[in-house]
Amino acid sequence: MKKRYFLATACIFLFSSFTSIAQNFSEKDDRWAKGWTNFSPNQTDYPKAEEKLPNIIANHTYLRNDVVYLLSGDVYVINSTTLTIQEGTIIRCDHQNPANLIVTKGSKLIALGSKAYPIVFTSNKAPKSRNNGDWGGIIIAGSGKVNTVSGNGLIEGNFKPQFSIYGGNQYDEETTILSHVRIEFAGNTIKRKEGSNGLSLYGIGSSSILDNIMVSYSGQDSFNFHGGKNNMQNLISLKAQEDDYNLSEGFKGNLNNVIAIRHPYVTSPKGSYAIEVDGYNKDLGYIRPNAVTDVTFSNANLVNLSDKSNYQHTTAAISAANSAITYIHNSKISGFSDVVKFDKSYTSLPLIQKAFMMDNSFFNIHGQGVQVANQSVEKESLNILKYNRFTKSFVDVNDLFSDPQSSVNPKFQLKKSLNTYMVMQ
């Protein structure tokens, strides 16, 4: 197996010192993911749809949990309308005429599920026949700040232009309320090559509430953020074909309690990452450099379910482009080739150090740790991983974690004490 001697020369074994970075990643940390999640949705026998939703929702609408709804084609929520969904409601989503729910700027989606009765958007196919990208996804446009020249943009995917505008100056807007929501088998690429992600948030306002959201088996990104500002928690991405968390156009926020579970054989031709952070959109330009995407991930488990027989198919866990700023705190990264990959916009070591920080975290990779487009700073760039613990050589996922491939509730507690691993110096 490939040994990372270059890392070994930069570290020492520590057992009792440096206790400030020796976070034990308590088993209690994942309790929030129990009760409302579903890690084997292809086995679930959901009831058949009884009532089809109209393609234009122009009046305040309430969906009850004693009815199973069908979402077919593009369904637009317009005219400052609120679509409210009761806890426990199931929405079956058409695969023949791939469904998209588009909540236009000024309108609102309130989907307030509970731990016992989550709200579920899922494929209308039968059990065991569902696939990544059976239907489109949920798209929510807000009036929050977007780092483009015009301060706004059009939703990706060639939707109706009169319903596609997002962005503005209502930074504290309550764009949406989503809690205890599952989105399964979205991300269709046949009808649209882009834009139909599991959950797409455009110009979201800081007063929005987003927590306990699980996106499973997306054919495109699981979570896709275009500008806006918000702090979210308890997010899960399960086996997406493209990125788990894609953030761009100046999005700013903190994402706490985050899980991304990938498979080494499930990826897109252009490359897929647990986190892809883009400072700005080159096609739309940007207002000013200090308005680039700036995101913090805390208590994250970014895990590729790879082992020694297939880890060569993996990419870096994080892709950073166009001067984006990323902070990783108290997290675990495992099964990828590297921790982070930087594009050519990061031209010097000071820029890299300003744009990326990782602390109190752990990583298990098979590459060098950091990929940079500018080769002149390649060796020095490893300094951004200082004071984080890591495995001396790559460890298979089942040997590293307690129960990572459970179909009921995967667990990513380290089998060995964190203090037995090496620490970058």
Model-level pTM?
0.94
Integer Cα distance of 317 and 254 in angstroms? 18
Tens digit of each residue's pLDDT (9 = 90 or more) over 171-185: 999 999 999 999 999
The answer to whether 29 touches 299, Cβ cutoff 8 Å, is yes
First to last CA, the chain: 24
Structure-block tokens of residue 208? 């929005």
Give the angle 235-239-242 at the CA atoms, nearest 5°.
Answer: 95
> Which carries the bigger pLDDT value, residue 45 or residue 148?
45
CATH number of 159's domain: 2.160.20
The pLDDT of residue 16: 35
Q: Does residue 315 carry a pLDDT above 70?
A: yes
Q: Does residue 121 carry a pLDDT above 90?
A: yes
The pLDDT of residue 283: 76
Percent of the chain surpassing pLDDT 70: 93
Q: In sequence order, what are the beta bridge partners of 55?
A: none
Radius of gyration of the chain (CA): 21
Integer Cα distance of 192 and 361 in angstroms? 38
- Binned at pLDDT 50, 70 and 90, residue 13 comes out as very low
Residue carrying the six token digits 């020249």: 149
The pLDDT of residue 267: 80
Q: Does residue 24 carry a pLDDT above 70?
A: no
- Decide: helix, strand or coil at residue 313: helix
Structure-block tokens of residue 308? 């020694």
The pLDDT of residue 28: 63
The answer to whether 195 touches 157, Cβ cutoff 8 Å, is yes
The pLDDT of residue 380: 84
Q: Can you list the pairs that 11-15 forms with residues at least 24 positions away whose Cβ atoms lie under 8 Å?
A: 11/390, 11/422, 11/423, 11/424, 11/425, 12/422, 12/423, 12/425, 13/422, 13/423, 14/419, 14/422, 14/423, 15/419, 15/420
Q: Which of 66-70, 102-106, 270-274, 376-380 has the lowest mean pLDDT?
A: 376-380
Integer Cα distance of 44 and 123 in angstroms? 11
All residues at 6 or more sequence positions from 258 whose CB lies less than 8 Å from its CB, including other chains: 235, 236, 245, 297, 298, 299, 300, 301, 302, 331
- Binned at pLDDT 50, 70 and 90, residue 26 comes out as low
The pLDDT of residue 251: 97
- CA distances to 44, 90, 101, 136, 422 from 124, rounded to whole Å, are 12, 11, 15, 12, 48
Q: What is the mean pLDDT of residues 305-318?
A: 94
Query: Measuring CA to CA, which residue among 389, 143, 137, 147 is closest to residue 277?
Result: 147
Q: Which of 4-18, 133-147, 286-300 has the lowest mean pLDDT?
A: 4-18
Give the phi and the psi of residue 399 in degrees, each rounded to 5.
-85, -20
Q: Which of 13-17, 58-62, 308-312, 357-361 has the lowest mean pLDDT?
A: 13-17
Integer Cα distance of 290 and 305 in angstroms? 36
Q: What is the mean pLDDT of residues 109-115?
A: 98
Q: Does residue 301 carry a pLDDT above 50?
A: yes
Structure-block tokens of residue 181? 């929501």
Total domains in the chain come to 1
Q: Does residue 22 carry a pLDDT above 70?
A: no
Q: What is the mean pLDDT of residues 379-398?
A: 93
Q: What is the mean pLDDT of residues 9-37?
A: 61
Q: Does residue 157 carry a pLDDT above 80?
A: yes
Q: What is the mean pLDDT of residues 28-34?
A: 84
The pLDDT of residue 268: 77
Tens digit of each residue's pLDDT (9 = 90 or more) over 86-107: 999 999 999 999 999 999 999 9
- CA distances to 104, 247, 275, 284, 391 from 344, rounded to whole Å, are 35, 18, 18, 19, 28
The pLDDT of residue 23: 57
- Binned at pLDDT 50, 70 and 90, residue 334 comes out as very high
Tens digit of each residue's pLDDT (9 = 90 or more) over 59-90: 999 999 999 999 999 999 999 999 999 999 99
Q: Does residue 325 carry a pLDDT above 60?
A: yes
| Secondary structure (H, E, C), 256-289 | EEEEEEECCCCCCCCCCCCEEEECCECCCECCCH
The pLDDT of residue 27: 60
Integer Cα distance of 316 and 365 in angstroms? 9
The pLDDT of residue 14: 38
The answer to whether 219 touches 98, Cβ cutoff 8 Å, is no
Domain that holds residue 9: 5-424
Q: What is the mean pLDDT of residues 306-331?
A: 95
Beta strands in 104-164 (DSSP E): 108-112, 119-123, 137-141, 153-154
Mean pLDDT, the chain, as a whole number? 92
Helices (H) and strands (E) in the chain, counts: 3, 34
